[in-house]
Structure 1
Amino acid sequence: MKLVELSLMCLWGLLCLCTSAYATDNFIAEMADAARDFHGLLPCGKWDCKCANQQRDCCCAAKEMMTLEDTTFNWMMDLWLDVKDLEKETNALTENRHIAFSAAMPAKLNSFGPFTASVTIPYTTITLNDGNGYNPALGVFTALFPGTFSFSYTVYSNVGHPNERIYHKVQMMMDGKVVASTWEDNREDQEDSGSQVVVLHLRRGCQVYMELVAGRSLSGDMTFNKFSGFLLYHD
C-alpha cells in the first residue's frame, strides 16, 4: 500500500497545481499529509493476477505502479516548473508599473522663447522618475504599457516690469495633438501663473509633453514651471 499512498500523494499534488497558480513550496508536505490520512484498500482492477489471491496489496502491479509513480511525478514537476516560469514572467511584466515623475525647468534659465516654431519645453530638473517613463533630454513622457494616467503642469512667467506685456501660451500635447493649454496676454500685471490637471488613457508608446507656442515666451524664475504625471491604473 505504500506505493498506492505515494501515487495518491503525487496525483493529489497534480490536482492542486492544475487548480491554483498560487501553489506554495510546502505542497509536498501537504501531499504527504493527504496520503497518510487515506484509509482503505484500492482494488487491483485490470492488474488482477494469481498473487492477488494471497496478498491484498496488489503485489503483481508493483512494476506498473512504479511506472505510474515516476510518470506522475515527472509530469507534476514539469507543471511546477511551468508555474514558476509564469510567476517570473508576471513579475517581470509588473515590476516597472510604479510610474510617476515630476520635473521643472532649470534654474539657470531666466527666459525661454520666443521661437519661430512651437518647441517642446525642457523640464530637465528631475525630482522623481519612477519607472523611467520621462525622458529629460527630450522633455517627453512615453507610456511603457497601456493605462490611465494623470498629468499636471504649472506655467509661470514674470516679465519684471508692470508696463511690460505678459505673452505666453503653453499646451499639453499627446502624440502631436493638443489636449490642454494655458495662456496669458495682458498688460494688467507683470507676473502670472496657471495650472491644469489632465487624465488621459494612453496606449503603449503614446507620448505626452509640454509645448511653448511659436512667438510666445516665458520669463522670470523658471523653476516654477513644472510638469508631472503618474499612473492611475493599467489595463
Structure 2
Amino acid sequence: MKLLLAAVLLVPALYVSAQTPLTTTKPSSWEAAVASWSKPLPCGGWDCPCAFSKKRGCCCVANWITRFEDHLFERIGGLWSDLSILTGDVNGITAGLNIAFSAVLGKLSSCYGPFTSNTPIKYQTILLNSGIGYNPTLGAFTAPRAGLYSFSFTAFSNEGGVGRRMYHQVSLMHNDDIVASVWEDNREDYEDSGSQTVLLPLSAGDQVYVRLLSGRQLCGDIYLQNSFSGYLIYPSTG
C-alpha cells in the first residue's frame, strides 16, 4: 500500500521535471568572469572585444583584414605609379635609339648615269626610315646622334641595251671620305653585282651616302637590287 502511494506521488513530480528545461550556470559564470577581468586581454592580434561580446561565428579578424586590404591597395597603387614613371623614362631613353633605314634605287628601265661628276645615288624607294635619318632628296643619311652604325649597300646592273655592258663604280662615303667601294670594269659579261657592309663610328650630324663615280652607270635593274641601308648598333656614352 505504501509503495502504491509513493508511485502515485512520484509520477506528477517527474512530469513537472520533464517540462522544465535544464539550465546551467556557465553563461552567467562566464559573463561574470569577463565582467570582473580588469586587465588587458592577452589576445595578440585578435579582436578580443569581438570574441567576448559577439555571438559565436563572428569574424574576430575582420578589422585586421580590412586594414591589411587598405594597406595592400595603397602599396599596389604606389607600385603602379612607380611603374608608369619607369616606363616613361625607358621610353624616353630608347626613343632615340630607334634609328634604322632601308632604301632601294627603284626599277630602272634604262641606266642611272653616267654623270659628268661624282654623284650621290638618290635611293627614292624608302622601305624603312625610323628616326628620319635618311633623306631621299639628298640620297644621304644624317646621323641623329653619335654612336656606332652599320651600313650596307649593293650595286647591281645587267646589260644596258644592245651592245652596252655594265660599267659601274660606287663608293660608300663618310662625309667626304671613301669608306668602301665596289666596281665592274669587265665589259664582256652581262650582269654583275657587288656588296659591302661596314661599321662606322659617327658623330651627330655626320653624313653617309653611296656615290656613283663620274662617267659610270648602273643599268637595267628591275628587281630592286640596288640598295642602301643602315642602323644604329649602340649610342656613344660621351
For the criterion TM > 0.5, the same-fold answer is yes
User: Are 2:173 and 2:209, in contact at CA under 8 Å, matched by a contact in 1?
Assistant: yes
The amino acid that maps onto 1:193 is S
- Aligned pairs, how many? 160
User: Are 1:165 and 1:190, in contact at CA under 8 Å, matched by a contact in 2?
Assistant: yes
The residue number in structure 2 matching 1:100 is: 100
Return the offset for 1:93: 4.8
Return the offset for 1:194: 0.7
TM-score, normalised to structure 1's length? 0.60
Go from structure 1 to structure 2 and tell me whether the alpha carbon gap of 1:199 and 1:162 turns closer, same or farther (over 3 Å shift). Answer: farther
The residue number in structure 2 matching 1:182 is: 182
User: Are 2:145 and 2:204, in contact at CA under 8 Å, matched by a contact in 1?
Assistant: yes
The residue number in structure 2 matching 1:153 is: 153
The amino acid that maps onto 2:152 is S
User: Are 1:101 and 1:134, in contact at CA under 8 Å, matched by a contact in 2?
Assistant: yes
SS of the residue aligned with 2:205?
coil
For structure 2, list consecutive stretches of 5 or more residues without a partner in the other structure. 1-71, 77-84
User: Are 2:110 and 2:160, in contact at CA under 8 Å, matched by a contact in 1?
Assistant: no
- Larger CA Rg, structure 1 vs 2: 2
Return the offset for 1:197: 0.5
The residue number in structure 2 matching 1:229 is: 230
User: Are 1:113 and 1:216, in contact at CA under 8 Å, matched by a contact in 2?
Assistant: yes
Sequence identity, in percent?
49
The amino acid that maps onto 1:231 is L
User: Are 1:173 and 1:210, in contact at CA under 8 Å, matched by a contact in 2?
Assistant: yes
Go from structure 1 to structure 2 and tell me whether the alpha carbon gap of 1:233 and 1:138 turns closer, same or farther (over 3 Å shift). Answer: same
User: Are 1:162 and 1:189, in contact at CA under 8 Å, matched by a contact in 2?
Assistant: no
User: Are 1:166 and 1:190, in contact at CA under 8 Å, matched by a contact in 2?
Assistant: yes
Matched residues in 2 for 1:136 and 1:107: separation? Answer: 16
Go from structure 1 to structure 2 and tell me whether the alpha carbon gap of 1:118 and 1:109 turns closer, same or farther (over 3 Å shift). Answer: farther
The residue number in structure 2 matching 1:124 is: 124
The residue number in structure 2 matching 1:73 is: none
The amino acid that maps onto 2:210 is M
Go from structure 1 to structure 2 and tell me whether the alpha carbon gap of 1:87 and 1:218 turns closer, same or farther (over 3 Å shift). Answer: same
User: Are 1:111 and 1:217, in contact at CA under 8 Å, matched by a contact in 2?
Assistant: yes
Go from structure 1 to structure 2 and tell me whether the alpha carbon gap of 1:108 and 1:190 turns closer, same or farther (over 3 Å shift). Answer: closer
Go from structure 1 to structure 2 and tell me whether the alpha carbon gap of 1:174 and 1:151 turns closer, same or farther (over 3 Å shift). Answer: same
Deviations 1:10-65 (A, max 9, x none): xxxxxxxxxxxxxxxx9x859xxxxxxxxxxxxxxxxxxxxxxxxxxxxxxxxxxx
